[in-house]
Amino acid sequence: MNAVLSKGSGSVAVLLGMVITMLVQSSSITTSILIPMSAAGVLTIRNAYPVTLGSNVGTTITALLAALASSSPDALTIALVHTLFNVTGILVLYVPRFVRGAPIYCAEWLARFAANRPMWAVAYVMGAFIVVVSYGFLTLLICEKSGTESISLERLEDLITQQAVVGSIALGIIRSVAVLMSYREKATN
């Protein structure tokens, strides 16, 4: 399996992640399949990473289909932003070879650190995904409030959508750490 996924500089793995996720309509399912495969040694972390990236793009297809069914330009705009955001992530974090290993290295370091200090893992998750996101959301609200008498419902929906994108990134990081922690557990057994 590793030989097939490593062909084409990882493009086969990205495509596989997209297709699987489009079929099951859930990137969580795709990622949940990768974790035991990586832990069992069937799939290397370097090959699981592009599959995960592809699954993040594949999951946007459901939103695109729903937006097309609604025939609302605003819905289609948000769905396209979601897709473009995930594609941009691949272009930035995977296409350049010199950057490709950085997320894996950082996640491996974090997994080793968290395995030795579990409370720091909890603190990291709380800080990165609750405190930072809440701070960003509140900052946007305060900035918006200072410029106008009140915040419109439409603007509040835009702010919530922006925070959902941040949450999507956070979920991707959590998945990567989970894969790497299972890899570490396998290596120590």
By C-alpha distance, which of 156, 153, 154 is closest to 141? 156
What CA–CA distance (Å, rounded) separates 61 from 49? Answer: 20
Contact (Cβ atoms closer than 8 angstroms) between residue 38 and residue 179: yes
pLDDT in tens, 145-184: 655 545 555 655 665 666 566 666 655 666 666 666 666 6
Contact (Cβ atoms closer than 8 angstroms) between residue 44 and residue 38: yes
pLDDT in tens, 64-108: 888 888 888 888 888 898 899 899 989 988 888 888 888 888 888
Whether the model pTM is above 0.75: no
By C-alpha distance, which of 124, 171, 162 is closest to 30? 171
